[in-house]
Structure 1
Amino acid sequence: MRVIGSVVVIAVLDGGSGADLARRLTAAGAVGVLIADQQAGVAEDLATELDRPGCRVVGVGGDVRRPSDVAALVDTAEKHLGPIDLFCVAGPDGERIVSLCDLPDHLDLERLAELVALVGEAIGEVVVPARRRPVQDVATV
């Protein structure tokens, strides 16, 4: 996994923390990091702490269990930081980093569907089944 020169999205689930992961990735040479947390203000505060010349850090609210939020995170990251190289999920029971190098370079419905599937697998790896709670996407109701 190559971090130097990468743009990274870190999505934090309830009970998880992306702070240590964000610190490790910025120290390892990421050029851009978007941190998304379900708790208001947490990602923004961490982004303010870590943002520096050579590594832009943006914090936003978001819930990666919702496909519409994944799409919004991708759009925001690409708008402010450039194409995403790594997508990370930080949950209460660990973290998972997904490389996007095998996905097509442009954002379209097919790429988004692949990304949502990868994020779903990552969530499954960092949240034990008893702690998962289902979330419906407003767009699918």
Structure 2
Amino acid sequence: MRVAGAVVVIAVLEGGSGIGLARRFSAAGAAGMLIADQRPGVAEDLATELDRPGCPVVGVSGDARQPSDVAALVATAAKHLGPIDLFCVAGPDGERILPLAELPDHLDPLAELLAQIGDAISEVIPRQRGVHISH
């Protein structure tokens, strides 16, 4: 996976943290990052900390579990940073990185991205245990 020169979106889920991931991408030479966190102000503060010449960083509030928010993240990243190369999901149990170059050209890129994000989220969110009530 090539990080140098890449535009990266990092979507942080509840209980996750994108701080380490964002710092690693910045150090590896990313060309720009958009960081989205469900908690207001968190992504914006991190963007302010990491923003530098050659790697602009945009921070926004957003929920990667909502298709409308993902569409807005993609549009915002494209507007401010250019085409996205990597889409990352950071959850309470880890991280998942999706290289967008692997998306099939013949499919609707956003629909395919949403499907892959759904798969990535299911990998990084803790498995929910069923609640059993005894009578």
Question: What TM-score do the two structures reach when normalised by structure 1?
Answer: 0.87
What's 1:92 paired with? 92
What's 2:67 paired with? 67
Q: Map of 1:75-86 to 2, 5 A cutoff?
A: 75-86=75-86
From 100, 120, 123, give the equivalent of 1:122.
120
What's 1:47 paired with? 47
What's 1:134 paired with? none
Distance in 1 (alpha carbons) for counterparts of 2:39 and 2:45: 11
Distance in 2 (alpha carbons) for counterparts of 1:110 and 1:6: 21
What's 1:138 paired with? none
What's 2:132 paired with? none
What percentage of residue pairs aligned between the two structures are identical?
Answer: 75
Letter in 2 for 1:124: S
CA-to-aligned-CA distance 1:40-95 (integer Å, 9 cap, x gap): 00000000000001100000000010000000000000000000000000000000
Distance in 2 (alpha carbons) for counterparts of 1:15 and 1:48: 21
Residue 2 (structure 1) aligned with residue 10 (structure 2): no
Shift of 1:22: 0.1
Distance in 2 (alpha carbons) for counterparts of 1:125 and 1:99: 16
User: RMSD in angstroms over aligned alpha carbons?
Assistant: 1.4
Q: Map of 1:16-35 to 2, 5 A cutoff?
A: 16-35=16-35
CA-to-aligned-CA distance 1:102-137 (integer Å, 9 cap, x gap): 2367xxx82111000000011011112218xxxxxx
Question: What TM-score do the two structures reach when normalised by structure 2?
Answer: 0.91
Letter in 2 for 1:59: G
Q: Which runs of 4+ in 1 moved over 2 A?
A: 102-105
Distance in 2 (alpha carbons) for counterparts of 1:128 and 1:92: 7
What's 1:111 paired with? 109
Letter in 2 for 1:123: I
Q: 5+ residue gaps in structure 1? A: 132-141
Distance in 2 (alpha carbons) for counterparts of 1:8 and 1:68: 19
Q: 5+ residue gaps in structure 2? A: 130-135
